[in-house]
Amino acid sequence: MLDSSMANTIQNFTQKSIQNFTQQKSIKMSLRSQQHSLIHRLADCIEETWRQHLDLSPYTVPEDLGYIEGALEGEKLVIENHCYQTPQFRKLHLELAQVGTGLDILHCVMFPNSDYALPIFGADLVGGRGGAISAAIADLSPVNADRSLPESYYQALSALPQIQFSQPRALPEWADIFSEFCLFVRPAGAEEEDLFLQRVHDFLTLHCQNASVAKPLTSQREIASAIAGQRYYCTKQQQNDKTRRVLEKSFGAEWTDRYMTTMLFDYAT
């Protein structure tokens, strides 16, 4: 039998564990629920699709990078990172961020394990909480040497119905990493937001279904090529000056470089 002192210690530990879990869950739900409705819906869609098609397990995030608070031009900046892994993916990363009451951000990347010849799914949303989404991008980016998607992906994406958006956006100069199916728009109104959400769900479903039946590579040459493709993708993404400037204003250059190279766009070696 436990003495009263040990029993109290266990009880206090259990209560603290429950409180911590409840607090973390509350933080996760409160940030998402306070963000733009499209960001909220897309975050839910991404995680639900992952759970439906993939065998998720926890991914260890550096202790100081899971939940981050800072300030940007006098406004509070909050960043949440939710990460998982699967046999096919070394990291599934969903980042949610908000700046004050006027800016909401969603960022997502699915990094394949180096022994799987899979494209890289990525999606980003940027917008005001009560207003419009200013930037919405999603793609299945090829990582092979000739920048082409696997035939199964190409055929499936080609078969998707065409969607017309009233405000397409131009990709930056460094963005040769994206496929011809990349969707980069400024959704105008609820109807176009719904269309964007549906197309991202199409991309995700196709990607997860293909990944779930994919066979790991056995050739060291093919594995080296997959690693090189991921490195190229991440190196290009690290050149995104807008992301770097925002983070540097809040956390400084050294912290920003660490965050971009170990959390946002790290790659296998």
**Pick from 84, 101, 81: nearest CA to 28:** 81
**Does residue 18 form part of some domain?**
no
Q: What's the gap between Cα 155 and its chain centre?
A: 25
Examine residue 12 and state whether it is found in any structural domain, yes or no.
Answer: no
The per-residue pLDDT of the chain, averaged, comes to: 88
Neighbour tally for 169: CB within 10 Å: 14
Q: What is the pLDDT of residues 93-150, one digit of tens each?
A: 999 999 988 899 999 999 999 999 999 999 999 997 668 899 999 999 999 888 899 9
What CATH number is attached to the domain comprising 217? 3.40.1500.20
Q: Secondary structure of the chain: what % helix, strand, coil (to 5)?
A: 45, 25, 30
Look at residue 110 and tell me if it is in a domain. Answer: yes
Q: Alpha carbon of 254 to those of 72, 169, 246: distances in Å?
A: 17, 31, 13
Domain of residue 60: give its range. Answer: 37-264
Asked if residue 120 is part of any domain, the answer here is yes
Count: domains in the chain: 1
- What average pLDDT does this structure show over 242-261? 92
Q: Which two tokens stand for residue 252?
A: 């400084």
Please give the pLDDT value at position 39.
94
pLDDT for 8: 45
pLDDT bucket at 30, cuts 50 / 70 / 90: low
In a domain, 62, yes or no: yes
Residue 33, helix vs strand vs coil? helix
pLDDT of residue 175: 87
Does 79 fall in a domain?
Answer: yes
